[in-house]
Amino acid sequence: MKFFTSCLLAVTLASRSIALPRTDGAYNFQLRESITPPRGWQRLSAAPADHIIHLRIGLPQSRFDELEKHLYEVSDPFHHRYGQHLSKAEVDALVAPKKQSLDLVDEWLASFGLGEQDFYRSSAKDWVTIRVPISVAEKMLNTKYHVWKYGETDDHLIRTTDYSLPDHLNEHVELIQPTTIFARWSKMKATFHLDKDIFEEIPIAKFVSSTSQDLGLADGVTVVDPSCNATVTIRCLQQLYKTGNYKPRASEKNSIGISSYLEEFVNEQDLKTFYLEQRPDAINSTFTFISVNDGLNNQTLDEAGMEANLDAQFAFGLSFPTPAIAYSTAGRPPFNPDILTPLNTNEPYADWLDYVLSHENPPLTISTSYGESEQTVPEDYARRVCAGIAQLGARGVSVLFSSGDFGVGDGIEDPDSHTCFTNDDRNITRFMPTFPASCPFATAVGGTNDIPEVAVFFSGGGFSDYFQRPRYQAHAVENYLDNLPYGIYEGKFNKAFPDVAALGRRFRIWWRGKPMSIGGTSASAPAFAAVVALLNDVLLSQNKKPLGFLNPWLYATGFSGLNDIMIGNNPGCGTPGFNATVGWDPITGLGTPNFEKMRKLLPKN
């Protein structure tokens, strides 16, 4: 994404015959949003007036209700339109703003010296992004920005706690960010679950046992090497999830992607070493790297991304030879007040969505292991990001997210030590759902542990505070709630997550030239995504459409192809969290994949 504008507004104004900025008094401002700063953030000082900020202006998506209707029809295995996904042009037309909204916003921006050459518009023109100094942003929004610091970390943000808009724009602008968004868009905390032998040079042979000692599971059919209870490899997942005997036949039509942020990128040498050890038939394969906003890919071994390596090694390794795409998106919200040069204060996840939605053929399956506590993301912003995920689903893309690594909030069961409090004046104990995993148009992946599988204690799960429960979840979730004691759980029953699960501990990856053991739902999501990619291969090899938005199929019939996980709980927020049980539960969702069963249940589109 490039913005053709000067860093100095004075230069911009001198070079164009555009009206000078109006004073604040020229507009009648109306308050659009006012928040209490999230816990942990401390206001330090006024933001530097010349700091450059990228403001994203969200215009109303004129026909999103129609898009949502299309999405559910093409994703419902019992609907006659199942699999008839929309094109990019069709989706863009449904979310494009009305001309009046475009014109009024353009006029408003022009009054501050900003012309078309200063804008970046999303593919559907529903987002307008501008690059202006803080001093101009404050006039445009009738607000004051400050530098904020999070706890004892070095994370800094430039944010405001309220902003206003001219009242004539009230119906023509849905939101503007970054203003009140304090999300840090963290990667799932895989590093919190490292095994003690993290840097020990352990030969893979140590973990390979005689087949005479194989673990026979309760179904009487699945046999898994017992070494998989010490370390998880591609072979373990192939055995456990029954993909090992399948030979992909439609690779030329298929694709799988991972998205990375926060200066993470896939190291090619680590991936080759991983393939040499666990997937030798893939040793000479390649993947497509895509940089968004100048995302890093310098291939320096000592800067390789742990999260990116994990995602690529298992998503690409398990789905090989499915063509693979790795995105690396630059930019992060934190601002370093000691550096005076302009920094990107954009929200990188929205940048990635803009990019992938602007292309005709995004990957058919995409796994992401990043997110944030839902309450740190303003609700209007969360809904717009979720709407972007819906657009991908309508186009036939399966979008999966890790459910989180802190149980129902902070992973702390001690009622006197937990940190789960609402971001408002009430300051009451509340479970902390994870976004974007809580988005009803995404498939959230929880975690399991050991073989036979049980729910892993850190698996994120629960109920959204923003999104209503979608109809595809009604039966499964209501069955769970019928047997749930109230009290600490009362009032937490909106959209439920996760939807599914996969192993989430002791994954053996290569990072910076050494083997290590890692865990988290960061591992679960790419593993499940790889199974989805193989299911797509089955469909595409029969000239059928890809799965697209998974959840309506999973909750309607696909659940019969999943391994139900019935043991475990996910403590947090001073409580034991939720229990795994028969059927759906807020730790492992509907269960973990059985590829052979799932392929027999694929819709007959």
Of 76, 307, 465, 537, the active-site residue reads 307
Cβ-Cβ contacts under 8 Å for 257 (sequence gap 6 or more): 324, 325, 326, 327, 362, 363, 365, 366, 367
State yes or no: is 311 an active-site residue: yes
Nearest to 522 by CA among 441, 417, 344, 403: 403
**Is 416 among the annotated ligand-binding positions?**
no
Tell me the DSSP string of 390-430: HHHHHTT-EEEEE--SSTTTTS---TTT---B-SSTT--B-
**Is 583 among the annotated ligand-binding positions?**
yes
Task: Confirm if 566 and 588 have CB atoms less than 8 A apart.
Answer: no
**Is 574 among the annotated ligand-binding positions?**
no
* Backbone φ, ψ for residue 41 (5° rounding): -95, 130
Q: How many CA atoms lie within 13 A of 240 on its CB side?
A: 28
**Is 410 among the annotated ligand-binding positions?**
no
Task: Confirm if 444 and 363 have CB atoms less than 8 A apart.
Answer: no
Task: Confirm if 518 and 463 have CB atoms less than 8 A apart.
Answer: no
Name the token pair of 229. Answer: 């209870």
Task: Confirm if 49 and 135 have CB atoms less than 8 A apart.
Answer: yes
Rounded Cα distance between 498 and 589, Å, is 5
Rounded Cα distance between 348 and 201, Å, is 35
Name the token pair of 380. Answer: 């209007």
Q: How many CA atoms lie within 13 A of 468 on its CB side?
A: 2
Using omega within 30 degrees of 0 as the cis cutoff, is the peptide bond preceding 593 cis?
no
Q: How many CA atoms lie within 13 A of 295 on its CB side?
A: 25
State yes or no: is 307 an active-site residue: yes
Of 118, 174, 311, 413, the active-site residue reads 311
Residues with catalytic roles = 307, 311, 522
What residues form the annotated binding site?
564-565, 583, 585
